């Protein structure tokens, strides 16, 4: 048990899939036994909630021994609090540019998600809570607080980027949807850097919550067209936002570098 808690990064991938499959199996069984009790949207909401809640519980049982409550909130104290603020400044323009870039340069990537079902999930209170808060929490615990944490022990001699990149690859692949994978990889690198640089799960969890909440806001405001370009008012205004975001990203990167990008 001691080795699993500290060194077996793959355990957290297993936890993710066990949680997903267990919740899906239970939902299929319930649907079979009581076909008239739940609509497809409600059944999906319950499945997502159970899967993420189970993932949190299993992570707690198998979490790395180094990750304590004090470790988790370390990013809000002392010198680390400044780094937490800086990664938020870095995250905002990067998230905007990532979403704009995918819409402009990769608009035809297959999307396996049913838009009407996702919209229904976001309009359900439990579904909204799961997508915006519980999902990001469970994924950060498993991927940054599990996979990346233990990969960093295995690849400590290869620098800080290797564990971040490997975890981001796993993070993008588990979405199982081509349309989400490019943005998920970039987001995964950002979240991984936030975890490594601040030494805390606070920053990656909050950034992930912001990213998913932005998607929910877009879906609520523009249910027929949830693209960020449409939300911003068209190509011209989106281009202005992109230019401002580039400047913001450059300034944030300079501030991060000044703080000491190579020092965890």
* Domain annotation covers residue 55: no
pLDDT exceeds cutoff 70 at 262: no
pLDDT digits (tens, 9 = 90+) for 51-100: 999 999 999 998 887 787 777 776 777 778 889 999 999 999 999 999 99
* Domain annotation covers residue 15: no
- Quick one: which of 79, 87, 74, 199 has its CA closest to 148? 199
Contact 4/62 with Cβ under 8 angstroms? yes
69: alpha, beta or left? (left if phi > 0; alpha if psi -120 to 50): alpha
229/7 Cα distance (integer angstroms): 43
* Domain annotation covers residue 229: yes
* Domain annotation covers residue 210: yes
The pLDDT of residue 4 is 44
pLDDT digits (tens, 9 = 90+) for 184-206: 999 999 999 999 999 899 999 99
The pLDDT of residue 3 is 44
Cβ neighbours of residue 45 closer than 8 Å, sequence gap 6 or more: 121, 124, 126, 127, 130
pLDDT band at 49 (very low <50, low <70, confident <90, very high): very high
> Considering its fold, how many domains does the chain have in total?
1
Contact 189/73 with Cβ under 8 angstroms? no
* Domain annotation covers residue 8: no
* Domain annotation covers residue 52: no
* Domain annotation covers residue 113: yes
* Domain annotation covers residue 245: yes
Q: Is the pTM of this model over 0.95?
A: no
**Polymer length in residues for the chain:** 264
* Host domain of residue 243: 71-260
Average pLDDT over residues 207-236: 88
- Quick one: which of 28, 16, 25 has its CA closest to 174? 16
């Amino acid at each position: 048990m001691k080795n699993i808690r500290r060194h077996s990064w793959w355990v957290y991938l297993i936890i993710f899939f066990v949680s997903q499959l267990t919740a899906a199996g239970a939902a299929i069984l319930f649907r079979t036994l009581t076909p008239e009790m739940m609509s497809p949207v409600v059944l999906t909401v319950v499945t997502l909630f159970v899967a993420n809640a189970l993932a949190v519980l299993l992570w707690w049982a198998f979490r790395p021994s180094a990750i304590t409550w004090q470790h988790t909130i370390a990013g809000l104290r002392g010198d680390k609090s400044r780094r937490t603020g800086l990664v938020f400044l870095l995250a905002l323009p990067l998230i905007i540019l990532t979403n704009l870039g995918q819409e402009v340069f990769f608009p035809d990537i297959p999307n396996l998600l049913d838009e009407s079902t996702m919209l229904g999930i976001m309009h359900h209170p439990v579904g909204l809570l799961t997508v915006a808060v519980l999902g990001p929490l469970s994924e950060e615990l498993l991927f940054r607080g599990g996979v990346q944490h233990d990969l960093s022990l295995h690849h400590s001699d290869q620098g800080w980027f290797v564990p971040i990149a490997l975890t981001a690859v796993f993070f993008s692949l588990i979405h199982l949807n081509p349309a989400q994978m490019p943005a998920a990889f970039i987001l995964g690198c950002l979240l991984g850097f936030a975890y490594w640089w601040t030494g805390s799960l606070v920053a990656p969890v909050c950034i992930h919550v912001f990213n998913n909440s932005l998607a929910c806001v877009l879906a609520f405001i523009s249910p027929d067209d949830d693209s960020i370009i449409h939300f911003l008012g068209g190509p011209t205004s989106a281009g202005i936002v992109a230019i401002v975001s580039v400047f913001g990203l450059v300034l944030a990167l300079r501030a991060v570098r000044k703080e000491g990008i190579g020092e965890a």
